[in-house]
């Protein structure tokens, strides 16, 4: 499915609200739940959020666990920032549930609506005016010798960097089975287009339009000045092998900044396209609008 394609969602009758912690998210969640209930929609909330210290909505709602989710949910709404949307995507897994972000912060690249537009977001969902676009996700595996030790799925990025000891790492990278580079650096980031404005951007990597279908490999503080970010097709599998030094201790593997795994020398990280894309309700502002208006590029 092309990243350019847009699929109508239809009127939302069962909606999962996925809030972050905090008083602002509690208020927004109560407001959204009340508006959905008035419109006749069923409201679902994560069980663990309802167990927290914040009071649940007063309107009727149901509690769900991640393993109880099914295709009967028309829409999930992440109430928070980009990090909340990524956590919601991880919680939904590969289920075919469209995800809409409502950004409660100042800077967000992924949310379709801002905090002041929450009512409009709910209205559009109920009216069936929303669409979703497929966004590339990465399937990540960790191999130690011939044993697969861990598996994760990410939306933004996967990176390998030094652990507790701030030692420069030696990494061997391959693209589509072909040797690409031996990298001596603090680490290496592999990002999707959606994740290009996250850690990749901070490390000097390129901003990639969300409509593209690519991986970006960006070294973190490389020792060799000729090492530069590389962009390649997402159909190509990426392999990162941690080859040394032997006295550097465990390196850190992270997926979306939300899951970590300690790597030993000789471990191999394999990244390929996930079978199911993220079904994201796309931001109405492009990434370039955000850069121009919120980061001052338009000045």
pLDDT digits (tens, 9 = 90+) for 236-271: 999 999 999 988 888 999 999 999 999 999 999 999
The string of pLDDT tens digits covering residues 125-145 is 999 999 999 999 999 999 999
82 catalytic? Reply is: yes
Strand stretches in 96-213, DSSP E: 99-103, 113-114, 131-135, 138-144, 147-154, 157-161, 169-175, 178-185, 187-191
| pLDDT-wise least confident of 66-70, 151-155, 288-292 | 288-292
In a domain, 2, yes or no: no
Q: The domain spanning residue 155 has which CATH number?
A: 2.60.200.30
What average pLDDT does this structure show over 34-56?
92
Length of the chain: 299
Q: Which of 139, 55, 159, 37 is nearest to 90 (CA)?
A: 139
At residue 220 the predicted structure's pLDDT band, cuts being 50, 70 and 90, is very high
Task: Between 170 and 299, name the one with better pLDDT.
Answer: 170
pLDDT score of 294: 64
At residue 3 the predicted structure's pLDDT band, cuts being 50, 70 and 90, is low
Contact 140, 255 (CB under 8 A): yes
* Residue 186 and residue 100 share a domain: no
The string of pLDDT tens digits covering residues 178-211 is 999 999 999 999 999 999 999 999 999 999 988 8
pLDDT score of 165: 80
Average pLDDT, the chain: 92
For 11-76, give the DSSP string.
Answer: --SEEEEEEPSSHHHHHHHHHHHHHHHHTT-EEEEEHHHHTSSSPPPSS--EEE-GGG--TT--EE
Q: Which residues pair with 272 in a beta bridge?
A: 139
CA distance 95 to 89: 9
pLDDT score of 135: 96
Question: What values do phi and psi take at 287, rounded to 5?
Answer: -60, -30
pLDDT score of 288: 76
| pLDDT-wise least confident of 21-25, 107-111, 114-118, 167-171 | 107-111
DSSP 8-state class, residue 111? -
Query: Among 70, 74, 82, 146, which one carries the catalytic annotation?
Result: 82
What average pLDDT does this structure show over 35-55?
92
* Residue 237 and residue 128 share a domain: no
* Residue 142 and residue 51 share a domain: no
CA distance 185 to 224: 8
The string of pLDDT tens digits covering residues 51-92 is 888 788 999 999 999 888 876 899 999 999 999 999 999 999
In a domain, 77, yes or no: yes
pLDDT score of 164: 80
* Residue 98 and residue 177 share a domain: no
Task: Look up the domain containing 144 and give its range.
Answer: 138-273
The string of pLDDT tens digits covering residues 157-187 is 999 999 888 889 999 999 999 999 999 999 9
Q: The domain spanning residue 99 has which CATH number?
A: 3.40.50.10330
The number of folded domains in the chain is 2
In a domain, 1, yes or no: no
CA distance 132 to 220: 33
pTM of the model: 0.91
Distances in Å between the alpha carbon of 103 and those of 37, 167, 211? 21, 37, 21
CA distance 36 to 25: 16
What average pLDDT does this structure show over 100-110?
86
In a domain, 245, yes or no: yes
pLDDT score of 100: 98
* Residue 116 and residue 16 share a domain: yes
* Residue 118 and residue 145 share a domain: no
């Amino acid at each position: 499915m092309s990243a350019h394609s847009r699929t109508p969602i239809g009127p939302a009758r069962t909606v999962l609200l996925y809030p972050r912690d905090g008083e602002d998210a509690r208020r927004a969640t109560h407001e959204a739940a009340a508006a959905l209930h008035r419109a006749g929609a069923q409201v679902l909330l994560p069980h663990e959020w309802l167990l927290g210290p914040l009071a649940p909505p007063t309107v009727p709602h149901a509690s769900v666990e991640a393993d109880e989710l099914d295709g009967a949910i028309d829409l999930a709404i992440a109430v928070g920032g980009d990090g909340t949307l990524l956590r919601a995507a991880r919680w939904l897994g590969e289920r075919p549930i469209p995800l809409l972000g409502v950004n409660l912060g100042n800077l967000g690249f992924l949310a379709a609506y801002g905090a002041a537009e929450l009512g409009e977001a709910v209205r559009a969902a109920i009216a069936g005016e929303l669409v979703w676009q497929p966004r590339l996700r990465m399937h990540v595996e960790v191999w130690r010798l011939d044993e697969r030790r861990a598996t994760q799925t990410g939306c933004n990025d996967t990176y390998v960097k030094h652990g507790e000891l701030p030692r420069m790492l030696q990494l061997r990278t391959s693209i589509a089975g072909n040797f690409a580079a031996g990298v001596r650096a603090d680490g290496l980031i592999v990002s999707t287009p959606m994740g290009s404005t996250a850690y990749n951007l901070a490390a000097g990597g390129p901003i990639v339009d969300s409509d593209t279908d690519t991986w970006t490999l960006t070294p973190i503080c490389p020792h060799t000045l000729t090492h530069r970010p590389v962009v390649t097709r997402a159909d190509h599998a990426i392999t990162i092998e941690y080859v040394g030094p032997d006295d550097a201790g465990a390196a850190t593997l992270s997926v979306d900044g939300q899951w970590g795994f300690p790597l030993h020398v000789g471990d191999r990280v394999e990244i390929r396209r996930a079978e199911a894309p993220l079904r994201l309700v796309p931001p109405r502002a492009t990434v370039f609008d955000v850069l121009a208006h919120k980061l001052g590029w338009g000045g």
